[in-house]
Homo-oligomer: A and B are copies of this chain.
């Protein structure tokens, strides 16, 4: 028996928005410690890693480990039927071939349940080594989404350059060139508006714009995003999810043969 309840369904709605353009299907691994999802995107370029701790749920029970292969387009359809303030409960029997989503309104006057067929999906776990990064930059996630959207108009790559003073995002293309500079904030009233650079040594790396745009779809999950970078290792883009976990995206830098 697996059962997990969240007081508000909107977190799951946002998680689906954050992965559904990268993945068409994925396996949710449920265990005593929580729910995990790890998958390469459809083009096998970036890696998505989602972690929801059992203690972050309102109610959580998982008698036996369970791997649920899920078509994300179908799950998105179901999640759209949930009111944002509805309670969400996921339920599955051991060895089940279906999972049930139950949405309950606050006063319980409206209860809806959706039973969805599960799929058998192949997959392999990638070990992600712990790394010390040369730079870790924290910026407001809305700002990150806007930068990706703005620079996408100018070129296919975004250069992220990090110094003590702040972080600079750049792109170049037919129209011309664009640079967006964010200064490290000295002291801010609201932590979520801060720009914070933790730097061992400066880095300047290029990334495929199209993937950063997809990662930015997780912005509604968190006020802040952190970008961890080192030469020759994948960028990590991390969004915290309330008190329950996080979603991380990994993307290798582009090797620029001509310039850089």
Residues of A within 8 A of B (CB): 71, 74, 77-78, 80-81, 98, 108-117, 143, 150, 153-154, 175-183, 185, 195
Cα–Cα, bound, A113→B114 (Å): 50
Are A175 and B117 in contact (CB-based, < 8 A)? yes
Are A77 and B182 in contact (CB-based, < 8 A)? no
Are B150 and A80 in contact (CB-based, < 8 A)? yes
**Would A109 and B183 be within 8 Å (CB), given that A80-B150, A81-B178 are in contact?**
yes
Chain B nearest CB: distance from A255 CB in Å?
26
Nearest first, the 9 A-B pairs at minimum CB distance are A81-B150, A112-B180, A116-B176, A74-B175, A77-B153, A115-B176, A114-B178, A111-B181, A109-B183
Cα–Cα, bound, A176→B80 (Å): 15
Chain A interface mostly: strand
Residues of B within 8 A of A195 (CB): 109
Are B185 and A109 in contact (CB-based, < 8 A)? yes
Residues of B within 8 A of A110 (CB): 143, 180-183
Are B78 and A175 in contact (CB-based, < 8 A)? yes
Q: A114's contact among B71, B111, B115, B177, by CB below 8 Å, is which? A: B177
Chain B nearest CB: distance from A138 CB in Å?
14
Are A114 and B176 in contact (CB-based, < 8 A)? yes
Cα–Cα, bound, A117→B172 (Å): 12
Chain B nearest CB: distance from A185 CB in Å?
6
Chain B nearest CB: distance from A40 CB in Å?
25
Are B109 and A182 in contact (CB-based, < 8 A)? yes
**Would A181 and B78 be within 8 Å (CB), given that A98-B176, A117-B175 are in contact?**
no
**Would A112 and B74 be within 8 Å (CB), given that A80-B153, A81-B150, A175-B117 are in contact?**
no
Cα–Cα, bound, A98→B178 (Å): 13
Which residue of B has the minimal Cβ distance to A104?
A: B181
Residues of B within 8 A of A178 (CB): 78, 81, 112-115
Cα–Cα, bound, A182→B111 (Å): 7
